[in-house]
Structure 1
């Protein structure tokens, strides 16, 4: 199987502000001082939540669940030493809908964590990743 190449270019703007332009042409602002944009480490959390959320929504749609919303609250703990890498990341999914089956949500979250989410699979080599969910009526 051939590898898929991806790329991003990061350009310094001013102070600790940078703009990343990714291969699809989209831009993402970053700020190492967290004053004007998310920090690169905050974007790692967002990437984990985004990647897993895509999987969860896709799987729930395939099981014809009446989902009206999915939110992923991601929290992370970082080491006290330099580099301050993440040591723990927790993804908490809040699924909103009508008659949503908890078994389907549990399966979707588990499949994302164990099989589909590329970001989570990459991080799990060095980070303790945990997941849970809650279902709320629409």
Structure 2
């Protein structure tokens, strides 16, 4: 069984630093409206980044394995928060954007679906508390 451990340290006011098993450190802070200085990432928004990063790593790996011709790839992730505290994401939209001259739409859709349905553990976790909608957008370049 794998276990991940991170250590998060208070740096004053509303600012925290958190390490990662990779050794990298991120800074989290709230905005001025919540007593912070806005000098770091917001924890809830980082969850959206984690979701995009997880599925993105899957799709990038599959693009390579399938030898697909993709010039660029972007994931736009939006989460709608509940009105009442504790505010949680009730709906999340994940939009995959692929750019290239020779996009194989069928194989790219398969790569996304494999990530969404089989490989991305963060996606599975999100589905425990929110509705997750996914869309794929193809941008054919000349």
TM-score of the two chains, using structure 1 as the length reference: 0.93
User: 2, 5, 17: which one pairs with 1:4?
Assistant: 2
Runs of 5+ consecutive residues of structure 1 not aligned to the other structure: none
- Tell me whether 1:78 sits opposite 2:76 in the alignment: no
Deviation of 1:50 after TM superposition, in Å, equals 0.8
1:77-102: CA deviation from partner (whole Å, max 9, x where unpaired) = 01111110110111101111221111
- Tell me whether 1:130 sits opposite 2:126 in the alignment: no
What is residue 114 of structure 1 aligned with on the other side?
Answer: 117
Runs of 5+ consecutive residues of structure 2 not aligned to the other structure: none
Where in structure 1 do 4 or more consecutive aligned residues deviate above 2 Å?
Answer: none
Do the aligned partners of 1:109 and 1:131 also contact (CA within 8 Å) in 2?
no
1:49-93: CA deviation from partner (whole Å, max 9, x where unpaired) = 111111111112211111121100000001111110110111101
Do the aligned partners of 1:109 and 1:132 also contact (CA within 8 Å) in 2?
no
C-alpha RMSD over aligned residues? 1.2
TM-score of the two chains, using structure 2 as the length reference: 0.91
Name the structure with the higher strand share: 1
User: 90, 94, 114: which one pairs with 1:91?
Assistant: 94
Residues matched between the structures, number: 136
User: 103, 123, 139: which one pairs with 1:100?
Assistant: 103
What is residue 26 of structure 1 aligned with on the other side?
Answer: 24
